[in-house]
Structure formats: C-alpha cells, structure tokens
Amino acid sequence: MELIEILGYVGAFVVGLVLGLSGGGGSIITVPIMVYLIGINPVTATAYSLFVVGSTSVIGTIQNFRKKLVDVKTAIIFAIPAFTVVYITRRYLVPAIPDPVFFVDESPITKDVFIMIFFSIIMFVASLSMIRSENDSANLSFKATINIPYLVLIGIVVGLLTGIVGAGGGFLIIPALVLLAKLPMKNAIGTSLFIISINSLVGFTGDLQHRAIEWSFLLIFTAISIVGIIIGVYASKFISGTKLKRGFGWFTLVVALYIIYREMFV
C-alpha cells in the first residue's frame, strides 16, 4: 500500500472524528480523499461518500440517542423532503448529466471535472459556514415558534446538494436546527447526525442500479470512519466542537481552492 493511500485511510478516520465532534463538516472532505488519495472516479466517489457518511452517522446517532440529544420530531420534518430529493437526484438527475457537460472555447468540460468544480464551490460555502462561530448563529434573533416551512425548504436544498456532491450537508442543517427549530447546539448536533444518516443512506440506494460497488474497500473505509466518530462523540464532552469546526473550516477552504486549481489549471 502506497503512502498516499495510507493518508486516504487516515482521512477516513478524520471524517468520522469531525462528524462526531461537530455533527457535520467532516463529510465534506470524503470525496476529495477518495478522488485524490485513493484514485476513485469522482461520480463513484460521491456515491461511496453517501454510504460512508450515512453509516458513520448512524453510529453517532445511536450514541446521541443514548444521551437524549436527538429531536426525532424535528428530524422527521427535515428529513422527509431531504431524503426524497436526494434519492431522486442520485437515481435520475446525476446519471442524466451529459458527458461532456458543456464546452469552453471548444474545450470539453467533462462530467468528472464538472462534479469536482461544483463540489469545490460547495466546499467553499461550507468552509465559510464552519469558520463562522456556531455561537454567533445561536445568538441571532429568531421567532419563538418552529418555522416548519423553512425547515422543509432547507431540507429540499440539503437533499439536492447531498445528492450531487455526496456530502451530508451538516453545514446547512445545524444552523437551520438552531435558528428555525430552536434546538440547543448539542441537540442540533445529535439531530443533524440522524438527518444525515437517513439522507445519505437513502441517497446511496439510488446508485445501486447504476454502478458496481467495490464493497471490500467501502466497508474498510467506513469501518475506519466509524472508529473516528465513536471517539469523536466521546471526546465532544471534553473538546469544544465550535473551535474545532472553525479550524476545520479553514482547512476545508484550502482544500476547496486546491480542487479548483487542480481541475482548472493542471
């Protein structure tokens, strides 16, 4: 096994660790790890990412259930539109993307390049969300009642993004749960993992009809990520998830810029 592949599996652990500590964010680097370190096709990597993130989040959800940090009612309101859209996206929209997608000065923009550029844009937005303190979001003013229509709307947006890029969408889910569902931060993190697990695993089923799955690799990668989230959820009692998420946000920003450079100029 080459050093770069070893780093890929180390990255799998980091994905789980960050998910456990902060309820989101870690999943955003799963696709770059698989593409640039493991060498997997970008479209396939988004499918694998859904399985890894979904399975890992299930373990984190169970741990948070035991701590009574999961708001099931809010999660269902959010998750139903989200997983419906993510399944439709993986089952029908992603396979329908043409290859090449379009041309720039007669140069083709392939489906793989398009997916990675779009992914880098999402990473850039996610990094800004993570860099900004969650405490800042929690202190914003909002109505005293749960805003169900907005929760549903954001659920649809999260479902679409999750379906296209294979990330869990925690950077959108957690602020929505804090601001629109009035959940305390710890509960928002636990509930976010529940939503991410449902969205990701339902979305992954939409890929089963389109591609062969290399289960041996996928299960090993997922197992390592699960070890990370178990440690992360436990360590969240002692480590500030907000500070970690801000630091991870800066790292995500650098990775996003690297992807843009790699896909457009190399």
List pLDDT tens digits, range 252-261.
888 889 998 9
Residue 221 · residue 6 · CB < 8 Å:
no
- Alpha-carbon gap, residue 17 to 39, rounded angstroms: 23
Residue-averaged pLDDT of the chain: 84
Contact predicate 218/89, CB 8 Å? no
3-state secondary structure of 102: strand
Structure tokens at 27: 């999943």
Task: Please state, in angstroms and rounded to a whole number, the distance separating the CA atoms of residues 149 and 68.
Answer: 25
Q: What is the mean pLDDT of residues 75-95?
A: 91
CA separation for the pair 146, 88 (Å, rounded) = 27
In a 13 Å sphere around the CA of 256, the CA atoms on its Cβ side amount to 19
Query: What domain range is 106 assigned to?
Result: 3-265
Structurally, the chain folds into a number of domains equal to 1
- Judged against a pLDDT cut of 70, whether residue 24 lies above it is answered with no
Q: How many CB atoms lie within 10 A of CB 220?
A: 12
More confident residue, 211 or 254: 254
pLDDT tops 70 at residue 53: yes
As a whole-number percent, the residues of the chain with pLDDT over 70 amount to 91
| pLDDT tens digits, one per residue of 219-255 | 999 999 999 988 987 887 777 666 777 777 888 888 8
